[in-house]
Structure 1
Amino acid sequence: MSDIVKSLLSTAAGRIKPSPIREMFHLIRKPGMISFAGGMPDPDIFPVEQFHLGADILLEEGRDVLQYGVTEGYAPLKDFLSRWTAPKMGKEPSMDEILITSGSSQVADLMTRALLDPGDWIVCEETSFLGNTINMYNQGANFLTIPCDKDGMIVEQLPEKLSQAKSEGKKVKFIYTIPNFHNPLGCTMSLERRQALVKIAQEEGVMILEDDPYGCVRFEGEDLPTLYSLDDLGVVMYAGSFSKILAPGTRVGWAIGPKDLIRTMTVFKQGVDTCTSVVAQALVYKYCQSGNLDAFLPKIVDHYRRKRDAMEDAFKKYLPLEEVEYVTPHGGFFYWVTTPNILAEELFKRALEKKVAFVCGAPFFPNGGGEHSFRMCFTFASPEDTDRGIKALGETMREILGESKG
């Protein structure tokens, strides 16, 4: 970087953090690498043929869908989402309560822009999805973290921490949570904690961002109500995405929430990208409207269930189970593995030599920690590669443990 550029950088640019997952893509894409790192869907299950059949919408409505669109989103897609999400939302959201976004991560970005001043605080799980927390940090956020167990955020600790933050003059603007099949933890928030979390937010006068990209990818158990459906005071913003239930290349997500906040986020979006690709929205709409979303989704879920089972089987075959801790996810994409006697960074370096990659845990902790944990995505690798990769990982763990005892 030249001296001139350095002298002109903003204060924000001086503190900005990159995504460690994006930064390591050049490593995990090397030939022969078995990657459990990026949270990527399996392209083998993309509904290519079904999606392609909807391309005739470009001939039918090309003059409209190839033009700039309204920032709020393509009206037919919004109408579909209102009806399709109604069972989860507890009602059919109105058009001014829905915003189409460029992926669900943009919901977090726009909500942060709308609510946060630099130095304000956001509550999140410990750990949390680094893609969103890094963006929040880059916009000036501080983080108040709440630990998790197998039932999600330990909400019982939240009132005391909020009270302490208030006494210290900290402005807490919203609570960021991933209640279903958490990224990276794999856990799911219990019904009791969902109810308690909404009640606390209402009493404390803070918003909740309910990030739910994995909610439809459930392998077993009953669906739990969304936080949005439990809220009668308008404190919950819901974020959904087609990335995990159709394909991430569409870059189409949505926000459902209080119309005044949706309007403010829309104004920010006008300056960010004008509108989400109208072509992508129209193609997604045609796919959904023709019944393919509901028809194909069970195939996606079954496909990923088998992949989860393959990873769990490999864990039991190859890992030193007395040295590892993990929760079996009931859906989603991830295992979170903790190795109390092995540093994840050391394991990562040695695993790379055997052409196996994962994501170390530390970046998922906005306030530090996670040195003995790492995230494993089970959706991308084939079952055969999963078996080989976990075998190599187990061998590496035993090498490290043997050296430490020697």
Structure 2
Amino acid sequence: MSDTIQGLLSQSAKGIKPSPIREMFHLIRKPGMISFAGGMPDPDIFPVEQFHQGADILLEEGRDILQYGVTEGYTPLKEFLSRWTAPKMGREPSMDEILITSGSSQVADLLTRATVDRGDYVVCEETSFLGNTINMYNQGANFLTIPCDENGMLVEKISNAVDQARAEGKKVKFIYTIPNFHNPLGCTLSLERRKELVAVAKDKELLILEDDPYGCVRFEGDELPTLYSLDDAGLVLYAGSFSKILAPGTRVAWAIGPKDLIRTMTIFKQGVDTCTSVVAQALVYKYCQSGNLDAFLPKIVSHYRAKRDAMEAAFSKYLPKGEVQYVTPKGGFFYWLTTPNIRAEDLFQRCLEKKVAFVCGAPFFPNGGGEHSFRMCFTFASPEETDRGIKAMGEAMKELLAEKG
């Protein structure tokens, strides 16, 4: 970068953090590389034919669909989402409580723009989804991180953390949580903690961003109520996405929340991208309205359940006994592995030599940590690739342990 450009950059730009996952795409796309890194759906399960069947809508309504759309979103899709999400939301949200976004990460982006001043704090899990926490950080947010176990965030620790921060003059704006099949931890927030979290938010006058891209990808166990449905104070903003239940290339997601907050986020969106692609929204609507979403979703769940089982079987078969800790996810896309006697970065470099990639844990810790943990996505690689990749990883682990003595 030239001195001239460097001198013209804003203070925000000088401190901006890139996404480690996006930055490593050039590595994981190399020929022969087995990738457990990016949280990508399996393209073999994309409903290409069913999605294509809805393309006639371009001929039927092309004059409108190819024009600029309203920022709030394509009305037929919003009406569908109101009906389709009603069982999860506890009621049918009104049109002014729904905003269509360009991916669910835009929900976090718009909420941060609407609520966070530079130096303000966000409460989140330790660890958390780096795609959103990096975006929050780049907009000036700091973090109060709350530890987790197999039942999700230790909600009982939030009140003291918030009280201490406020006693020090810090402003805390919202709680960011991924309650179902957490990215990257794989855990699910228990019902008791869900109720407690909503109560804490009400007591401390905090918003909750309920990020739920994986909630429909459940392999086992009973569905738990959304935080949104448990909230009687209008403090929960729910984020859903078609990325994991249709295809990420659509870049269509949604937010459901208090209408005044949705309105404020909409105004920010007007300046960010005017509107989410109307063509994409219309194609997604036609796919859903035709019944394909509900008909195809069980196939997606079954496909990914088999992939999860294949990865865990490979763990048991190849990884050194007693050296790896993890929680079996009941849905979603990820395993979170901890190796107390092996640094994740050392393992990553050794695995790259064997053409296997994953994501090291440190970037998922907003306040530092994670040197002995890493994330594994089980949805993208084939079962055969998973077996070969975990075998190579096990060899790398054994080599590093032997060198350590």
Worse overlay, 153-162 or 259-268: 153-162
Residue by residue over 1:286-306, the C-alpha shift from the partner in whole angstroms, topping out at 9 and shown as x without a partner, is 000000000000000000000
- Give the residue type in structure 1 aligned to 2:264: T
Identity of aligned residues (%): 83
1:109 matched residue in structure 2: 109
Query: How far apart are the structure 1 equivalents of 2:207 and 2:321?
Result: 40
1:396 matched residue in structure 2: 396
2:361 matched residue in structure 1: 361
Residue by residue over 1:235-266, the C-alpha shift from the partner in whole angstroms, topping out at 9 and shown as x without a partner, is 00000000000000000000000000000000
User: Does residue 144 of the first structure (1) align with residue 150 of the second (2)?
Assistant: no
Query: How far apart are the structure 1 equivalents of 2:265 and 2:158?
Result: 27
2:305 matched residue in structure 1: 305
- Give the residue type in structure 2 aligned to 1:173: K
Query: How far apart are the structure 1 equivalents of 2:20 and 2:165?
Result: 30
Secondary structure, aligned partner of 1:112: helix
Residue by residue over 1:100-141, the C-alpha shift from the partner in whole angstroms, topping out at 9 and shown as x without a partner, is 000100000000000000000000000000000000000000
1:91 matched residue in structure 2: 91
- Give the residue type in structure 2 aligned to 1:174: F
User: Does residue 155 of the first structure (1) align with residue 155 of the second (2)?
Assistant: yes
Output aligned runs, 1:297-376, within 5 Å: 297-376=297-376
Query: How far apart are the structure 2 equivalents of 1:261 and 1:163?
Result: 25
Secondary structure, aligned partner of 1:233: coil
Query: How far apart are the structure 2 equivalents of 1:172 and 1:321?
Result: 43
- Give the residue type in structure 2 aligned to 1:139: Q
Unaligned runs of 5+ in 2: none
Residue by residue over 1:52-95, the C-alpha shift from the partner in whole angstroms, topping out at 9 and shown as x without a partner, is 00000000000000000000000000000000000000000000
Query: How far apart are the structure 2 equivalents of 1:207 and 1:16?
Result: 25
- Give the residue type in structure 1 aligned to 2:167: S
- Give the residue type in structure 2 aligned to 1:243: S
1:386 matched residue in structure 2: 386
Output aligned runs, 1:2-17, within 5 Å: 2-17=2-17
Output aligned runs, 1:115-126, within 5 Å: 115-126=115-126
Query: How far apart are the structure 2 equivalents of 1:152 and 1:125?
Result: 8
Residue by residue over 1:184-222, the C-alpha shift from the partner in whole angstroms, topping out at 9 and shown as x without a partner, is 000000000000000000011000000000000000000
Shift of 1:160: 1.0
2:43 matched residue in structure 1: 43
Query: How far apart are the structure 2 equivalents of 1:17 and 1:321?
Result: 36
Query: How far apart are the structure 1 equivalents of 2:6 and 2:165?
Result: 36
Query: How far apart are the structure 2 equivalents of 1:280 and 1:222?
Result: 32
1:25 matched residue in structure 2: 25
Query: How far apart are the structure 1 equivalents of 2:400 and 2:11?
Result: 42
Shift of 1:321: 2.7
- Give the residue type in structure 1 aligned to 2:141: A
- Give the residue type in structure 1 aligned to 2:71: T
Worse overlay, 315-324 or 279-288: 315-324
Query: How far apart are the structure 2 equivalents of 1:38 and 1:118?
Result: 30
Query: How far apart are the structure 1 equivalents of 2:178 and 2:320?
Result: 30
Structure 1 residue ranges (4+ consecutive) displaced by more than 2 angstroms after TM superposition: none
Secondary structure, aligned partner of 1:76: helix
1:284 matched residue in structure 2: 284
Query: How far apart are the structure 1 equivalents of 2:170 and 2:135?
Result: 20
Q: CA RMSD in A?
A: 0.4
TM-score normalised over the length of structure 1? 1.00
Secondary structure, aligned partner of 2:169: coil
Residue by residue over 1:30-52, the C-alpha shift from the partner in whole angstroms, topping out at 9 and shown as x without a partner, is 00000000000000000000000
Shift of 1:158: 0.9
- Give the residue type in structure 2 aligned to 1:229: S
Unaligned runs of 5+ in 1: none
Shift of 1:15: 0.5
Aligned length: 405
TM-score normalised over the length of structure 2? 1.00
Shift of 1:329: 0.1
Worse overlay, 209-218 or 155-164: 155-164
1:239 matched residue in structure 2: 239
Worse overlay, 158-167 or 381-390: 158-167
2:188 matched residue in structure 1: 188
Query: How far apart are the structure 2 equivalents of 1:334 and 1:131?
Result: 15
Shift of 1:159: 1.1
Query: How far apart are the structure 1 equivalents of 2:227 and 2:321?
Result: 35
Query: How far apart are the structure 1 equivalents of 2:321 and 2:260?
Result: 51
Query: How far apart are the structure 1 equivalents of 2:360 and 2:321?
Result: 19
Query: How far apart are the structure 1 equivalents of 2:390 and 2:321?
Result: 12
Residue by residue over 1:313-351, the C-alpha shift from the partner in whole angstroms, topping out at 9 and shown as x without a partner, is 000000013000000000000000000000000000000
Query: How far apart are the structure 2 equivalents of 1:348 and 1:189?
Result: 29
Residue by residue over 1:267-291, the C-alpha shift from the partner in whole angstroms, topping out at 9 and shown as x without a partner, is 0000000000000000000000000
User: Does residue 214 of the first structure (1) align with residue 210 of the second (2)?
Assistant: no
Query: How far apart are the structure 2 equivalents of 1:342 and 1:2?
Result: 40
- Give the residue type in structure 1 aligned to 2:365: F
- Give the residue type in structure 2 aligned to 1:206: L
Worse overlay, 164-173 or 260-269: 164-173
- Give the residue type in structure 2 aligned to 1:240: G
Query: How far apart are the structure 2 equivalents of 1:5 and 1:168?
Result: 37
Query: How far apart are the structure 2 equivalents of 1:186 and 1:170?
Result: 31
- Give the residue type in structure 2 aligned to 1:220: E
